[in-house]
Amino acid sequence: MRGRMEQLEKLKRIAQGKDELEEALNRALDIIEACDDIESIGKARISVLGKKGIIARVFKKIKDAPEDERPILGQFGNLLKRVAEEELDLKEKWLKAALQEKKLSEMAIDVTLPGRGRSLGRRHILSITISEITSIFISLGYRVVYGPEVELDYYNFEALNTPAYHPARSLQDTFYLKRKDPIKDSREDVLLRTHTSPVQVRVMESTKPPLYVISPGKAYRRDEIDATHSAVFHQVEGFAVDRHISMGDLKGTLEAFAKKLFGEERKVRFRPHFFPFTEPSAEVDVSCFACDTAGCSLCKGVGWLEIMGCGMIDPNVFSYVGYDPEEYQGFAFGMGVERIAMMKHGIDDMRLFYENDVRFLRQFHI
Ligand code: DAH
């Protein structure tokens, strides 16, 4: 086949001087030229090559034309048809390629864009604090034991020497799940443990001394929730039972612990206190981090911060578990995890621990 340009030149030559043919050629070329998408190609095919299109009208003229013009009309019509088909096909191909190119460039992935960040989870500050506390005691030879959170009155109160009608046993302070008598305490009442101390009784009841045990876990109290109270909170309980255990062992152990946890420069003091299950009992304070006993706003002018309760296990508790107090002695201690984490990290509102605000949580690294 001859080249496009040559064919076009030939068409122009044939049409030259014949207004109708020149007009038909120009209109056909203009229509094809104006096509700018696949849809307009379809329309152009109809108006140029269709039954009532420009070329069809050229052929129609043949029968009325003078004899000598007929072959020219025929030749022109045939050539215009071939040229128009070729031009439309070419244009269609070109438009399809352009469309494809556009689609591909839209789908393309920009490999220079920064990737999407993935945030790593990390341990909760309360879990970290529990680990720090327990690992100090593990290094002293203690083992970790867990007790149930749904507990019997017997373990939570009675065997811990907490008498009936003790204020802690009141309906205002304790979540009871099953209460035998609404007025009278019963050792079979079922409750959410109000402290981790019942683990002492459970372990002693089933195991012979020597015992060196640490027991972290949740405890529950019917407290209004505020900056320093929560209905669910965490404690770490600890106790030791052995022969020849004295108050000196208790003081040495807890002093070593407090300095490991809060820093060797801290001073530790023991203040007499009362707990039903220990005798004598004490509260342990560390010197205030901010003022080192001088008194400031952090320690409310006291100079010291209370970190836990402790004491020598009351012989009455031993009698519940069948230990002979003449043979064995023991000490026990219990601390609030939230309180310790708040002091260590300067947190002033306990609710922050439970609100799951990552801006708070992510400050604490493992
Ligand atoms: N159970 C006590 C409380 O919840 C804390 C405590 C004090 C535990 C003295 C002990 C202890 O083992 O000896 O406040």
pLDDT tens-place string over residues 138-184: 999 999 999 999 999 999 999 999 988 787 787 779 999 999 988 88
**Residue in the block written with tokens 């035998």:** 180
Q: Is residue 156 part of a domain?
A: yes
And the tokens for 1?
């086949």
Asked whether residue 307 falls in the same domain as residue 229, the answer is yes
Q: Which residues surround ligand 1 with Cβ inside 6 Å?
A: 195, 197, 237, 275, 278, 309-311, 332-334
pTM, 2 dp = 0.71
Asked whether residue 202 falls in the same domain as residue 345, the answer is yes
Which residue has a Cα nearest atom 8 of ligand 1?
Answer: 334
Q: Which parts of the chain have pLDDT scores under 50? A: none
Q: 275 CA to middle of ligand 1, Å?
A: 7
Report pLDDT for 365: 73
Q: Which of 317, 333, 338, 339 to mutate to test ligand 1, by most ligand atoms within 8 A of the CB atom?
A: 333
Taking only the tens place, the pLDDT of each residue in 66-100 is 998 889 889 989 999 999 999 999 999 999 999 99
CA dihedral 59, 60, 63, 68 (to 10 degrees): -40
Report pLDDT for 2: 63
Asked whether residue 168 falls in the same domain as residue 288, the answer is yes
Asked whether residue 355 falls in the same domain as residue 208, the answer is yes
Cβ atoms 266, 251 nearer than 8 A: no
Asked whether residue 79 falls in the same domain as residue 150, the answer is no
Find the domain containing 95 and state its range: 2-105
Report pLDDT for 366: 60
At 75, is the secondary structure helix, strand, or coil?
helix
Asked whether residue 73 falls in the same domain as residue 178, the answer is no
Q: Give CA–CA dist 139/141, Å, rounded.
A: 5
Q: Give CA–CA dist 130/218, Å, rounded.
A: 11
The structural domain count of the chain equals 2
